[in-house]
Amino acid sequence: MHKYIISGGPGSGKSELLEALKQKGYRCFEEVARKVIKEQQEQGTNFLPWADNASFSKLVLDRILTEFPYGQENWEVLFFDRGVPDIIAYLQQRGDEIGDIYLDSLRELDYSRIVFLLPPWEEIYINDDQRFEPFDEAQAVYEVIKEIYVRLGFEVCELPKSSIEERLRFIEAKLGL
């Protein structure tokens, strides 16, 4: 089983790309952080990345470990909207401590070493109830995310700023699917 992460800065088209992969029959998993943000907003807590990033990050990690598709061996390829390295990147970007639990979890989850990054793309960038950052901050987040993936030994494949169909072809060609 191969577990590929699709990552990048906020608002770069990850969710739309994952939905297109799902439509093509691939097993895909939504971004956990956005689900946790929405839940925490509904509950009225401060466990949000802009209020208490360390506590928020721990909630996201716990959810990833709980929801990770153990026992999905019948699927040859799995795609994830973000992964544990993204948590590490956000912790670093906000100056929070990166505990051993994150690196230990990264080893446990055993993601494939190829990661697909979607670069910042101002023409498609929008804010919503879970994404408040202005575009220039999204660009800065992207650079930290890219740096973390490289530092952790992933092969970073930056997707072109192009149509979903072209991005799908890029991924399938890279993976020989």
d(CA 1, CA 160): 26
Domains and CATH numbers, the chain: 2-175 (3.40.50.300)
- Cα separations (Å) of 55 from 48, 61, 71? 8, 10, 28
Please tell me whether the overall predicted TM-score, pTM, comes out greater than 0.85 for this model: yes
Residue 129 is predicted with a pLDDT of 60
pLDDT tens-digit profile of 86-132? 999 989 988 898 989 999 999 889 899 999 999 987 776 566 666 66
Choice among 46-55, 73-82, 131-140 with the minimum mean pLDDT: 131-140
Which residues face 7 on adjacent strands? 117
For residue 95, the model assigns a pLDDT of 86
